Amino acid sequence: MRPRVSLSLGHSSYQLAPATGALSTALRDGYNAGKAARFTRWHLPTADLRDPSPRTKRSYAIMDGLTVIGSCGLWSGSYGGLEFYIAIFDERHRGRGLGSLAVKKLCEVAFRELRAQRVELGVYPENKRAIGVYERCGFKREAILRRWIYNDGKWRDALWMSLLRREWGGRR
């Protein structure tokens, strides 16, 4: 079993717990609850967030004590890349720096432990908050993937973003 990762944020202390066993049900419920589904695609049937599963390199539940408040992880991406995902289900925990901290931790795991050459992600172009977080963490905009996915009742574009190993190294 992989160890938990601590995320200290001022007076609050969160953890990233490997998404195994009972936690995977809470994660699926979190994505289906509607608070995150509009912004993500991880509730769709093709997503498999179990850790381990063939595509999942790391999958974590974001925990506040014993409560699952979100999810994040790394999927096998294209070639040298790992694809990143994150959602904080409970809105009370958004906008306090937790997302940025989790993104930085996952980049550390991707580049240091998993030796990735790039970390990449797709985000809906209207999701300004998420894009702001990724840019502040060093991600760069690469392309718009047009009509990339059918989700939430319509065909949607994705903004593809990435952070390269050498750029991450330069930021530390």
Q: What residues make contact with ligand COA under the rule CB under 6 A?
A: 36, 39-40, 86-88, 94-100, 123, 127, 129-130, 132-133
- Closest approach, Cβ 1 to ligand COA, in A, equals 25
Q: Indicate the residue among 67 and 166 with the shorter CB distance to ligand COA.
A: 67
The amino acid at residue 23 is: L
- Closest approach, Cβ 170 to ligand COA, in A, equals 21
DSSP one-letter code for 113? I
Q: Indicate the residue among 76 and 127 with the shorter CB distance to ligand COA.
A: 127
Pairing of strands 81-88, 118-123: parallel
Cα(28)–Cα(136) distance, rounded to whole angstroms? 28
- Closest approach, Cβ 116 to ligand COA, in A, equals 18
Degrees, nearest 5: CA angle 53-89-98: 95
Q: Indicate the residue among 52 and 132 with the shorter CB distance to ligand COA.
A: 132
Residue whose beta carbon is closest to ligand COA: 99
Q: Are 62 and 76 in contact (CB under 8 A)?
A: no
- Closest approach, Cβ 115 to ligand COA, in A, equals 24
Structure tokens that stand for 80 in this block: 């040298």
Q: Indicate the residue among 15 and 127 with the shorter CB distance to ligand COA.
A: 127
Omega before residue 125 within 30° of 0, cis:
no
- Closest approach, Cβ 81 to ligand COA, in A, equals 16
Cα(83)–Cα(91) distance, rounded to whole angstroms? 24
Structure tokens that stand for 17 in this block: 């717990």
Q: Indicate the residue among 41 and 57 with the shorter CB distance to ligand COA.
A: 41
